[in-house]
Structure 1
């Protein structure tokens, strides 16, 4: 388990570049919850403000791309970070601005670890990435990514592959790696082939499988954000990529087991189990 350093000592820092969820279940709110409980100081570059609750997203206000880039520069030039995670990026201009800021700060590629959660839509199906920005996300950000963590709906949108079994899961992993990601994680939480949840990690040479129990809960809002944030936190603590994914898999499984109802729709996964 990741832990905080002694009192008075600066902890590891992770920057999340993502949207705000007014309902508190996903986005930067989920990321910061996970970072704090894993002994990491979370920094933020907000890309968009969403108007949402447990039943859906009713409006989105994007942040101006220069302001998004300036947030990244402000944090990295002073506070410094050991890893970065992206979530909702909203539009092609924001993606380009983020990529330029990452290059200037030495993030991604051969630099600091970059976990890309390619958020395309909310769990309710509300668009969180402009349709014309999908190719930009792939062409601009994937080659900089240390790890990409799409869910199965995002895999289908980004690769055209409908993952229904182990064979298509492997095919999707190969395609994401071909598109530029150093490591591709194909999550199996929505793969309803058994009572297990098989995640598949691929680095272009070897597959790593992470198996866990499927949690029987309707409250899974923020699961993808939480897993990607946990992986970024583990990378910031110095773990290898397979170790970070194994840790994140266990973390989100326990967060799903502790999920709680909220409002009239889907409640959030809860890393708060750690403080009980």
Structure 2
């Protein structure tokens, strides 16, 4: 028995849609030159406070778990307190100039000069700059606990010992936007515009603590966001002691090279227990 005309599909099928790329699909090289999306430095998840960590530890112990196992669970879950410092001050660092260049000829100041030792910024202090070398941001002390103020400068909590777990470095920056090496455009090869971290202990830099964490895109046309996570295996953190501070340095080398940073952040994650 044939189908009636009213039951036959008379509408044409909807046009096929173009498949969308998965979120994890690699970006094309053109993305290195296209305008960046708004900076992500303002998007953070609020880490647990020390009181939260203590409370959850008590809950797990109440359930009958041995303390060692409870702390292992918290460590594996990355249930750590965090102290975050960020800056949205723009500065251009030129390879051939001392200090940073600010638009309208203003003097470059980080805004943290009052919270670091004055001796650190003079002579052979740990924040002494030079040509193509300027400190941009200093973290809260290693071992800080955020509690009510996630940007505090306190160390520990009373006499409580804290262990650094992880440090996250964020930057939003670009180089001078040109070079004589077109073959490297859009890559990170032969980029002489970069960022370093070091440890500040008192007013001195900890020997051997300075390491490169990120290069700018070679001849990048727009600022790019980068995030770098330093685990406890990182050579800088291997030297860290409670009370040390992470310093973010803006660097440029060789004539013509510069480093323009618009935003930066350092988050220090700590916990009141050692590595599981």
Structure with higher helix content: 1
Superposed pair shares fold, TM > 0.5: no
Looking at both structures, which has the greater relative contact order when contacts are Cα pairs under 8 Å and sequence separation is at least 6? 2
TM range (shorter): under 0.3
Highest Rg: 1 or 2? 2
